[in-house]
Amino acid sequence: MKLRAMIAAIATVGVLTLTACTTTEPSSDPVADTIADQPAPDPQPAPETGIDADTRDAFTLTWAIATEPQRDAYCTSVAILPPDLAAAEMQAGAGGSTDLDWMLMVDLLKTECASR
């Protein structure tokens, strides 16, 4: 008889685990009830890496340390130059570096200038 009871108990636990049954009665632990009622947090995106991340970081740093007259000049240049020429000028100003995505840099600058 003990064997049947054990098998029944194991089967019941297995079914409850598989169906994720929960009790509708609140537990005696209000903190556990509060935590259980909250949705799972959204997964955090993986940190961006590579040339796009480097370009975004370089833009953020450059914009942060730029004076207002420099910002005005940057915004004027992307307003009057075609994007590919603006990107080429930025790259030339950086000694021809290929470490950054210069077209992305132009897009970032245009976005920042549009929000001014």
Interval 76-111: pLDDT, tens: 999 999 999 999 999 999 999 999 999 999 999 999
Please say if the pLDDT value at position 5 is more than 90. no
Q: Which of 40, 98, 46, 70 is nearest to 109 (CA)?
A: 70
Q: Which of 9, 82, 13, 97 is nearest to 51 (CA)?
A: 97
Residues in contact with 81: Cβ distance below 8 Å, sequence separation at least 6, in sequence order: 89
pTM of the model: 0.59
Residue 95 DSSP class: T
Tens-digit pLDDT profile for residues 34-52: 555 667 677 777 666 799 9
